[in-house]
Structure 1
Amino acid sequence: MAEKKNRPTPKRRDVEKMKSTPRLAPAATKEAKKLQKQQARVLRARQRDAYLRGEEGALPPRDRGPVRRFVRNYVDSRRTVGEFFLPVIILVLFMTVMPIMEIRIASIFLMYGVLIISVIDGIFIGRKVKREVKSRFPDAETKGIAMYAWLRSTQMRRLRAPLPHVKRGEKI
């Protein structure tokens, strides 16, 4: 048999009063909130600028370190097929709505052709980067380096983040 609790069941309104926290006045005034938002906006802008410049402290973990910096510079110093993939896809998008069936079919072949060439180019870039990383940084981990290089090579140069630090054709 269960023991008695020796007290009455509390009323719902009493339980809800105990659960609720006392209402306090807003911690900050409107002016203080506005100032705080402005300061946060400035801080975010500084962090973004530091990230785009490639400052080590502002980079996310996937972009940090001398190996990743080398890979970015290696990819940025070359012209790749992958960086033209997005403009080609946009062109294909416009070509597929044209009323001429031959243009539609040609656009689909163009899209798949550029996709296949981009993947093959990515495989070659990945292999070259791994080989270079192993020769320049013998103790460095190469896991994920090829994919990192390929993904960077598929972005249009203007849209890459962190921004490229080397010019095309520059020796690394």
Structure 2
Amino acid sequence: MGPVFGSRSSKEEKAPAADKVTPDLSKQPRDPQAPKGRPTPKRAVAQSQRKSVVASTGNRKEDAKRARERRRVEMARQREALANGDERFLPARDKGPVRRFVRDYVDSRFSVAEMFLPLAVIILVLSMVRVASLQSIALLLWLAVIALILLDSVGLFFRLRKALNERFPDQPKRGAVVYGLMRTLQMRRLRLPKPQVKRGERP
């Protein structure tokens, strides 16, 4: 009788130990779209992208050459995107419907701030002429330009913020208004990404 009970108890002691070692795979979340035993689609794409970027030839010169070529292609795509507004290759700060709306909103209007650079050059030239009357005119002109830019920027700040809240009530808009104000400081022909709307055209 003793050996029989001993063998039964030893089997019962081994059973819980085996349960502890074997993980319960049924409790692990799995994407329903992913085939059994394979990673989810998003993870599979990310893994393939990492492999393609990290893949090494074993030759440092060749790897460096490939890295330079990738950077060159990316920069070329980015320059082209800045020229034609292609959202796929724009820098992160310019991507998204909110930033695109801000650009179109600013580009569809005339802003005093966009004349800052040419006016600053004119004022600088006048201030360098050693004629008291011209220097006084340059100072007054400079003060007038600064005042006009401030007034125009304050008005644009409130109008643009209102337009963004109406158009994109549920989307993040952090930094969008400042992004628009900074764009007004650039002359229209020098703005990047290039303007996609004409003056007076509704964005």
Name the residue aligned to 1:123.
154
1:50 and 2:84 matched: no
Quote the sequence identity (%). Answer: 39
Unaligned segments of structure 1, at least 5 residues: 1-24
- 2:112 match: 81
- Opposite residue 86 of structure 1, the aligned amino acid is L
Q: Distance in 1 between matches of 2:67 and 2:169?
A: 47
In 2: Cα distance, 1:134 partner to 1:26 partner? 51
Say whether the 8 Å CA contact 2:78–2:90 is kept in structure 1. no
Partner of 1:6: none
Aligned residue for 1:97? Answer: 128
Deviation per CA, 1:100-140: give whole Å up to 9, x if none.
Answer: 11111211221121112112211111111110111111112
Q: Is structure 2 residue 173 aligned with structure 1 residue 160?
A: no
**Partner in structure 2 of residue 11 of structure 1:** none
1:21-40 matches, cutoff 5 A = 27=61
Distance in 2 between the 1:168 and 1:90 partners? 25
What's the TM-score, normalizing by structure 2? 0.63
Which has a greater percent of helix? Answer: 2
Distance 1:55 1:125, change over 3 A: same
Give the gaps of 5 or more residues in structure 2: 1-58
Normalised TM-score (structure 1):
0.73
Contact 2:112 2:149 survives alignment (8 Å): yes
Q: 2:108, 2:201 within 8 Å by CA — same for their partners in 1?
A: yes
Structure 1 residues 72 and 27, CA, compared in 2 at 3 Å: closer, same or farther? closer
How many angstroms does 1:80 deviate by?
0.8
Runs of 4+ with >3 A deviation: 25-28, 35-43
The verdict on how the C-alpha distance between 1:105 and 1:57 changes in structure 2, with shifts beyond 3 A counting, is: same
Contact 1:126–1:146 under 8 Å retained in 2 = yes
Report the equivalent of 1:133. Answer: 164
Q: Which has the larger radius of gyration?
A: 2
Q: 2: distance between equivalents of 1:57 and 1:105?
A: 51
Pick closer, same or farther for the CA change 1:147–1:27 going to 2, 3 Å: closer
Q: CA deviation at 1:43?
A: 5.1
Cα distance change, pair 26–143 in 1 and its aligned pair in 2 (3 A):
closer
Question: Whole-Å Cα distance in 2 between the matches of residues 63 and 79 of structure 1?
Answer: 21
Q: Is the 8 A contact 1:130 1:142 kept in 2?
A: no
Deviation at 1:38?
8.0
Q: Which residue of 2 aligns with 1:60?
A: 91
Answer yes or no: is the 8 Å Cα contact 2:153–2:181 preserved in 1: yes
1-side partners of 2:101 and 2:178: how far apart? 14
Alpha-carbon distance, 1:51 to partner: 2.4
